[in-house]
Amino acid sequence: MIRFRDYIIGKKDSFTLEGRIFHSVCLVALMGLLACIPFNASLGLIGLSILMCGLLVVILIIYYFSRFRHKTGIGIVILLVMNNTLLIINYYSNSGINGPSSVVFALSFLITVSIVPKRHFWIWLPVNIVIVLGLLFFEFSNPGAVKNTYPDAESKFLDIAFTYLLCVAIILLITSFIRNSYYSEREATAQKNLALEISNNTKNKLLSILAHDLKEPLVSIQGYLELLTEYKLEESERLNMEKQLLSRTKDTAFMLSNVLTWTKSQMDAVQISLTSLPLKQTLASTLDVLEAIAKEKGIDLRCDITDEHCVLGDPDMLQLVVRNLIINAIKFTFPGGDITISAQKNGTNCLIKVKDTGSGIPVAQQPSIFSPALKPTFGTGNERGAGLGLMLCKEFTELQGGSISFESELNVGSTFMVSMPLCIPSDQEKSIRQKKGVSLK
């Protein structure tokens, strides 16, 4: 239906609002004339019916050149000149003030306002007013100059009633079209404003991260390097400082990786490729790196995932989610603590758990834990994040068709749970792809 409407009146990106209203008016005028011609003929107004036949052909030609040859400006001018000329003829041939001409002139005024560019109002609107007042003055000054063409009173009332209903229908169409166009444009503007606001918030968040969260660790790294370069330190002090420098560098690199990933996800359409993933094999390389990081802080990282666990997901996204959750657990777990990553089947899903014995999440922060409004916090080893890790986890988990939740108790620890679809037979993967709108390897 929408395609048909766009075909007959033109698309928004091809015609102005006035042009599309003009096409609508032409079509309604054609339908009105098709109804009026036999109606006037039945009333014995043969001359008027013939006049309307000629008008129908002219409007059809004007519509064709405007809609399909993009000659809308010329079409509007021709239509208005012809319209005013025919209204004058109709006034004389259809009983003047005793006929429906005044209603038709009012409709003509509305159509003129709707289709004429604003800069041409001063030409066409006065023309309509001058013609109406001039005809009324002429008929008043010359009684009998305009004859009553109705054969009887019944024909007169039928003609006026029919003309009124037709004019009301055209007015309803025009006003509905204008209102719908207004609401459509307003909704589009609201969506653009919302997108602009989100874009500005994204930009402000990114600038804040670059200006503060990345600047601070880089200054710290610079300080360590200056101490190592300019001062002679004991071997134990040098080793301790090098470890701190390495730790700070890793934290900064990880933070920068999150910033870049998040920025890219905000600026571009994220490409997702769902495939069957053996969970243990997919996470093996990530867990090896994270185990070394955990050991440096004196934390025991254990993996209780078996070979039987297989999920449907994007390998890069899943690794990013698990990596962020474990890094977060390491950040808030004290030396000597434990972190366990496990998996278990839960109906048609696989529940991946990252459990730590860390400091837990304060109750006041829990409602906004996945929100960009959450402010960066410091870990048990004074590690600082950008406040993006958990937000990325939520976004990327949901993009894969999964969900994420958590349980936490202050000074006891936290457990983050990622629910992912289990691997399913290949003949069902097609339906998953159609529902999610993503590709499957």
Q: Same domain for 245 and 312?
A: no
| Contacts of 258 by beta carbon, 8 Å cutoff, 6+ apart | 324, 385, 386, 388, 389, 392
Among residues 239, 269, 299, which one ends one of the domains? 269
Task: Please count the structural domains in the chain.
Answer: 3
Tell whether 340 and 243 lie within a shared domain: no
CA distance 118 to 133: 23
CA gap 413, 410 in Å, rounded: 7
Residue type, position 135, single letter: L
Is residue 205 a part of any domain in this protein? no
Q: Does 23 share its domain with 132?
A: yes
Asked, for residue 328, whether it belongs to a domain, the answer is yes
Which helix (H) or strand (E) covers residue 285, if one does? helix 279-296
Among residues 93, 98, 101, the alpha carbon closest in space to that of 44 is found at 93
Per this entry, what is the length of the chain? 441
- Taking the CB of residue 159, how many other CB atoms lie within 10 A of it? 22
Same domain, 154 and 296: no
- What angle do the packed helices 17-42 and 101-115 form, to 10 degrees? 160
Residue 200 covered by a domain? no
**Same domain for 160 and 13?**
yes
DSSP for 219-278, written as a single string: HHHHHHHHHHHHS---HHHHHHHHHHHHHHHHHHHHHHHHHHHHHHHHHSPPP-EEEEEE
Contact between residue 347 and residue 359 where contact means Cβ atoms under 8 Å apart: no
For residues 240 and 349, membership in a common domain is answered with no
199 within domain boundaries: no
Domain boundary among 251, 269, 287: 269
Q: Using CA of residue 266, residue 270, residue 275, residue 278, what is the dihedral sign?
A: negative
In-domain check, residue 208: no
Distance of CA 436 to the CA centre of its chain: 18
Are residues 351 and 325 both part of a single domain?
yes
Residue 36 lies in a domain: yes
Question: What range does the domain containing 409 cover?
Answer: 271-441
Residue 125 lies in a domain: yes
Task: Please report, in tens digits, the pLDDT of each residue of the chain (441 residues total).
Answer: 778 877 888 887 788 877 887 888 788 778 878 888 888 788 777 877 887 888 888 889 888 888 888 888 888 888 888 888 888 888 888 888 888 888 888 888 888 887 888 888 888 889 989 999 999 999 999 988 888 888 888 888 988 898 888 888 888 887 887 788 778 888 888 888 887 887 777 666 666 656 555 665 677 677 778 877 887 777 887 787 787 777 767 767 766 776 676 666 656 656 678 889 999 998 987 788 788 778 878 899 999 998 888 999 988 889 888 988 998 898 889 999 999 999 999 889 999 999 999 888 888 888 888 876 556 666 666 665 545 678 878 988 998 899 999 999 988 999 999 999 998 655 544 454 455 454 444
- Same domain membership, residue 154 and residue 57: yes
Are 346 and 428 found together in one domain?
yes
Domain contains 209? no
| 279: CATH | 3.30.565.10
- 413 and 326 inside one domain: yes
One domain for residues 114 and 16: yes
Rounded to whole angstroms, the maximal C-alpha distance in the chain is: 122
Last residue of a domain, one of 269, 284, 314: 269
- The reply to whether 260 and 166 lie within a common domain is no
Cα(105)–Cα(374) distance, rounded to whole angstroms? 64
Residue 340 bridge partners (DSSP): 302, 355
